[in-house]
Amino acid sequence: MRFEILPGLPPYGPMAISFTQYGEREHREGLVVRFYPRMSEPWVGNFLGSMTACTGVFEHPNKSDFIVVVQGAGCIVDPEHRVVRDHFASDIKEIFPLPSIGSIAFRRLTNFIALKADNSKWDSPRISWDDFRNIEVHDCSLVGEAYTPIGDAWVPFQLDLLTGDCHNGIYAQDMARAVPVQRRWQA
């Protein structure tokens, strides 16, 4: 383990580095993580989150960075240089480590994103109108049900975890059936 989640900010030693919206000007305690880099001294980061309950710290599939998710806000941390390399989402609801394919996927409100070992990522198209349920991972695919307000229904879908391509996404199906409305303005 090259990190540990601390119960709070350390009362002694070097100050934690704040990774927040307002940087060093913000003095709230969030998720406090001590990193143990391979080439430098351990250090502590303080991460503030966003709006969901999803929180966790994971080794990035590239084996050199870490992924920190705090209350739905996701970022990639370079522990050797003590910096956040990227902020990639603010509404993460669930995390799926996929070590067999060198990836980690994230469920958002209406779609999925994934980060890969080669530092690339994919964003799926919008799949659901509003949320998912019964999600399962099978090898290189993710299956579940996506919500549609049309008929107040849950509809099965399948997501390719290598590419982010979706089969049977209800949002795209509903939008393809939509009829444009023309407004007539009267003077």
The pLDDT assigned to 25 comes to 64
Q: Identify the residue with better confidence: 51 or 27.
A: 51
183, burial (CB in 10 Å: exposed 0-12, middle 13-18, buried 19+): exposed
Mean pLDDT of 110-139: 97
pLDDT tier at 105 (50, 70, 90 boundaries)? very high
Phi, psi for 123 (deg, rounded to 5): -120, 125
The pLDDT assigned to 109 comes to: 95
Please say if the pLDDT value at position 73 is more than 70: yes
pLDDT in the model for residue 39:
92
- Measure CA of the first residue to CA of the last residue in the chain; give whole Å: 70
Residue 185 has pLDDT above 80, yes or no: no
Please state, rounded to an integer, the average pLDDT across all residues of the chain: 93
pLDDT range class, residue 180, cuts 50, 70, 90: confident
Tokens standing for residue 125? 């198209």
Half-sphere exposure of 7 (CA within 13 A, CB side): 1
Question: Quick one: which of 161, 121, 157 has its CA closest to 137?
Answer: 161
pLDDT digits over 19-46, tens only?
876 666 666 889 999 999 999 999 999 9
144 or 49, which is more confident: 144
